Structure 1
């Protein structure tokens, strides 16, 4: 493939944008290809190269790059009426009503502008509501670029994971391994009177795709109730993708106190939201004392896009389609790896998928895990499949990034740039697209 124009654009970008990109994950080595436009399940770069896209904007593009006509019409109508107003609009009420009707735990919702802003606001709300300071997070979980969660290490030796964050901030954040009930119990017991919330993704989505073991989330729910802490589900990735309109909390049968949203809830436009029990969410100003505000919050174009997206998904076969394709690609990947790389692990659920280059010695995934690791204790690979972020970090991440990703790109398959972020199928993908992708996998693993 020719990448002459992308290379030139990157050269220009390095002079005016730090690192040449506006989000660190886009810093693909040796340089990123620049996208010119989308076309259904494909993207076309600045040099005219065409790729099957499984990045899907890192999750927001449930329909792919061609919006269904009702969604396109709603966006165009809202944009033509005026860019924004600094005042409420009916469509934000309509979207709030839709979400509260369909997501089991959400009685009231506040719209913001990004997933990061949603989690920042949720943490502040939990602290304000409980009068406590500390939050528990999962090692390897990702909750946006915010000071409270850019923390690494263990609960008793935590430190900021980025420069520019005072060490004093990190002492209020307690990391524990995902799926480690014993570690969670110990931390909650030690700090029970000062823990405002446990913040957890239903499925780790930025450090591989790691599913919960057994009734892990139910245990977290019960432990939070015992000490009077809030349970916050970060559904920025899984919201309206896993579990359909009820989100991952509906799939797992868990009722969190607060939920953060982003990505799909805005139909591909910048968005975030915090939803939950009325008595908690009403603590936001102006109803309560926890300050939260934003010039672009409830932006009319975003609200129109989000509402039309969710309505179209509710009225059509969107989830049946994308979930079936997810099963197809994960099952196909598992069959390929069974012969060529049985030590690797296929992960994901619904329309999320990934291959983690794990270093296992056991047999291939069992039939119960044919369409992605289900943390099935009867599977012969149970002890080898990733249970937390550390397990994914120990995978062959350089092989994935330096060998696998470039090889797939050269075959016209656009995957997320490293071992960690999830990949997605969309409503625009077809069974033929999946077969083409699996053929590319076969060629790499030959």
Structure 2
């Protein structure tokens, strides 16, 4: 790691305990940090300028764009990344939770080589490995009886919705503010501009138990499904409280709606997914969604998505025509679900290896316990400051807020109420400071621990966070 880098020459207050640095001065500090960033990444800037010739904004994945330009990575190994300017980083975001196994995991390397040399790519046919991978998933997630593979979490959620619409004959879907279910299923400040079927979404407030119960009941006969994350990932790693999630499940079932749990990100938080960790306050049973969606890490870094659940619901994708009983027998045609790479040999082989050999019960438990301990340590460090932390297990998010609520952050509305432009600039300063010190995290403050990360490495980040709070102590008081 590089030596401590200071943005402040001195710290002071105006005598009232309030920051003596004005918003204008804080913006100037951010400008200085950006200039330092530009000086340290000349090759990234050059590559970005070349990319502008062929890609809009020099980008083909919006979340990876960073002003003034994104850092371009050259390679990764283990839990480390090296950029094109030769600077090394401890990877604390792990490809937005998808890079759980780290970079170039030896077992995954071996599986890829074996698949390419002994099986081949894109066979255009059914293989034995896909049913073996499916069995591994069904054994791991008890609520999944049957499943189908696809190519991303976005696809998984789209297909899950299509199952619900076919089963109910309805089209509308209840989602929650701050929810992210894929590139075309985003719900920040209403229905996002690129979201499909704009007229079909009804948006509730996350963790609002009574409001959600009423919303579901009021829309009986209109709504096909309720789609929710067990922890809102892109929304700030805000966990769903057990009472809220079980209310969604129970009320949806009572009103003839399909309960879809988006576990694309959260299924790594427990061996049986976050659904097995969220226990009902009444009878201590885990969640049992009608459909669960998966993606991200489950194929060890290969492109993957999966959706599965109740056998009767997934039957709509059974490609065999079925006979319906009645006065006159008739055949019911299934919904088509094609996809060139749904069962590609690399994803199937690496996925099976990842779940059966690499991310075992013991490994999953240890990683998430380490994540819980790390988050608690961060919470202790930032107590009574503008820094706040939310999350579950090995996935968390650092926020900067101007005030504290009487209880935990429960929804994006809470965050918006607590954040000012001052906090937004502090968040950016934290990110530039982290990059300068060699910690790779998301600009929005998200962290996702990957395999191979040690407690001593996390201690280094905790020490960095302490130094940052000391460096900006005049600004960090609530």
Question: 1:373 — aligned with what?
Answer: none
| 1:403 to 2:429 alignment | yes
- Partner of residue 227 from structure 2, selected from 192, 199, 203: 199
CA contact (8 A) 2:172 2:202 kept: yes
| 1:162 to 2:193 alignment | yes
> How many Å apart are 1:316 and its aligned residue?
7.0
CA contact (8 A) 1:202 1:234 kept: yes
- For the residues of structure 2 that align with 1:205 and 1:418, how far apart are their CA atoms? 11
Question: 2:28 — aligned with what?
Answer: none
Question: 2:6 — aligned with what?
Answer: none
- For the residues of structure 2 that align with 1:78 and 1:106, how far apart are their CA atoms? 27
CA contact (8 A) 1:152 1:175 kept: no
Question: 2:270 — aligned with what?
Answer: 243
- Partner of residue 347 from structure 1, selected from 390, 397, 409: 390
CA contact (8 A) 2:176 2:187 kept: no
Question: 1:336 — aligned with what?
Answer: 381
Question: 2:14 — aligned with what?
Answer: none
3-state secondary structure, aligned to 2:392? coil
CA contact (8 A) 2:171 2:200 kept: yes
| 1:215 to 2:240 alignment | no
- For the residues of structure 1 that align with 2:466 and 2:81, how far apart are their CA atoms? 22
- Partner of residue 414 from structure 1, selected from 430, 440, 443: 440
- For the residues of structure 1 that align with 2:379 and 2:47, how far apart are their CA atoms? 38
* Unaligned 5+ runs, structure 2: 1-38, 279-285, 321-332, 471-478
Question: 1:23 — aligned with what?
Answer: 61
Instruction: Describe the superposition over 1:232-263 as per-residue Cα deviations: whole angstroms up to 9, x where unpaired.
Output: 00011012x1112x111111110000011001
Q: How many residues align?
A: 409
CA contact (8 A) 1:265 1:271 kept: yes
- Partner of residue 57 from structure 1, selected from 95, 99, 116: 95
Counterparts of 1:31-430 in structure 2, within 5 Å, are 31-67=69-105, 69-80=106-117, 81-146=119-184, 149-151=185-187, 160-162=191-193, 169-239=197-267, 241-244=268-271, 246-252=272-278, 253-287=286-320, 289-313=334-358, 315=360, 317-338=362-383, 341-361=384-404, 381-382=406-407, 385-394=408-417, 395-396=419-420, 398-419=424-445, 422-430=446-454
- For the residues of structure 2 that align with 1:140 and 1:314, how far apart are their CA atoms? 29
- For the residues of structure 2 that align with 1:315 and 1:173, how far apart are their CA atoms? 37
TM-score norm. by structure 2 comes to 0.82
- For the residues of structure 2 that align with 1:96 and 1:400, how far apart are their CA atoms? 45
Instruction: Describe the superposition over 1:96-128 as per-residue Cα deviations: whole angstroms up to 9, x where unpaired.
Output: 011111101000110000111111111111101
Question: 2:33 — aligned with what?
Answer: none
- For the residues of structure 2 that align with 1:349 and 1:88, how far apart are their CA atoms? 38
* Unaligned 5+ runs, structure 1: 363-380
CA contact (8 A) 1:139 1:178 kept: yes
CA contact (8 A) 1:313 1:319 kept: no
> How many Å apart are 1:390 and its aligned residue?
2.1
CA contact (8 A) 2:180 2:187 kept: no
Deviates more, 1:282-291 or 1:122-131: 282-291
CA contact (8 A) 2:178 2:187 kept: no
- For the residues of structure 1 that align with 2:83 and 2:393, how far apart are their CA atoms? 28
- For the residues of structure 1 that align with 2:294 and 2:217, how far apart are their CA atoms? 29
> How many Å apart are 1:314 and its aligned residue?
5.3
CA contact (8 A) 2:270 2:365 kept: no
- For the residues of structure 1 that align with 2:98 and 2:289, how far apart are their CA atoms? 22
CA contact (8 A) 2:428 2:443 kept: no
- For the residues of structure 2 that align with 1:62 and 1:355, how far apart are their CA atoms? 19
3-state secondary structure, aligned to 1:44? strand
- For the residues of structure 1 that align with 2:234 and 2:214, how far apart are their CA atoms? 25
Go from structure 1 to structure 2 and tell me whether the alpha carbon gap of 1:305 and 1:400 turns closer, same or farther (over 3 Å shift). farther
- For the residues of structure 1 that align with 2:370 and 2:187, how far apart are their CA atoms? 36
Question: 1:376 — aligned with what?
Answer: none
> How many Å apart are 1:190 and its aligned residue?
2.3
- For the residues of structure 1 that align with 2:394 and 2:401, how far apart are their CA atoms? 21
- For the residues of structure 1 that align with 2:378 and 2:187, how far apart are their CA atoms? 34
TM-score norm. by structure 1 comes to 0.87
Deviates more, 1:53-62 or 1:392-401: 392-401
CA contact (8 A) 2:179 2:186 kept: no
3-state secondary structure, aligned to 1:402? helix
Bigger-Rg structure (1/2): 2
3-state secondary structure, aligned to 2:468? helix
- For the residues of structure 1 that align with 2:183 and 2:459, how far apart are their CA atoms? 36
CA RMSD between the two structures:
1.9
